[in-house]
């Protein structure tokens, strides 16, 4: 997906009176990588996306990969920005990561927010899979999208 300029389009919003702004929406994340093609393939497998899926998206957010310019081979502070992928079946998500031989930072653990596990991506970023608890706050309840 490196270099692809297609972007996920927003649904048109309603007309707003002058001076009223709709809240900004996160529609893409750009990940710098030593090997963007390999990184994209890793995420595609980790998220269980089909090769036929034209864009690498997760819940309407596109993941983009660019060639890294940093001197450091791996992310220096992986706790700085962590991507939380919400899933309905954490065991299925775990199995995909095990099949990828992902490095686990934290194996699946039941917390007050739900069941959470953390792995490293190929560039050393933390990637979390989360099966939200039914009583976790609404802002943490986003789950899988229907495909």
Pair of tokens at residue 142: 């986003």
Does 52 bind another protein (CB under 8 A)? Our answer is no
Pair of tokens at residue 97: 């990561």
Q: How far apart are CA 119 and CA 125, in angstroms?
A: 8
Q: How far apart are CA 86 and CA 19, in angstroms?
A: 35
Q: Which C-beta is closer to another protein: that of 2 or that of 141?
A: 141
Does 135 bind another protein (CB under 8 A)? Our answer is no
- Which residue shows structure tokens 């934290």? 106
Does 80 bind another protein (CB under 8 A)? Our answer is yes
Q: How far is the CB of 101 from another protein (least distance, A)?
A: 19
Contacts with another protein, 1-40, as mask; x by CB under 8 A: ----x-x-xx--x--x---xxxxxxxxxxxxx--------
Radius of gyration of the chain (CA): 17
48 backbone dihedrals φ, ψ, rounded to 5°: 70, 30
Residues in 97-126 that interact with another protein by CB under 8 A: 123, 125
78 backbone dihedrals φ, ψ, rounded to 5°: -65, -20
Does 54 bind another protein (CB under 8 A)? Our answer is no
Contact set with another protein (CB under 8 A): 5, 7, 9-10, 13, 16, 20-32, 47-49, 58-61, 63-64, 68-70, 72, 75-77, 79-88, 93, 123, 125, 128-130, 132, 137, 139-147
């Amino acid at each position: 997906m490196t270099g692809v300029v297609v972007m996920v389009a927003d649904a048109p919003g309603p007309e707003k009176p002058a001076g009223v702004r709709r809240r900004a929406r996160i529609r893409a994340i750009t990940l710098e990588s030593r090997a963007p093609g390999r990184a994209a393939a890793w995420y595609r497998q980790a998220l269980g996306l089909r090769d036929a899926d034209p864009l690498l998206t997760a819940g309407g957010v596109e993941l983009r990969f660019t060639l890294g310019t940093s001197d450091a081979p791996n992310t220096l502070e992986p706790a700085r920005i962590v991507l939380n992928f919400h899933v309905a079946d954490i065991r299925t998500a775990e199995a995909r990561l095990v099949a990828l031989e992902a490095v686990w930072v934290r194996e699946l653990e039941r917390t007050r927010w739900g069941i959470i596990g953390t792995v490293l991506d190929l560039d050393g970023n933390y990637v979390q899979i989360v099966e939200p608890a039914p009583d976790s706050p609404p802002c943490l309840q986003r789950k899988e999208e229907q495909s």
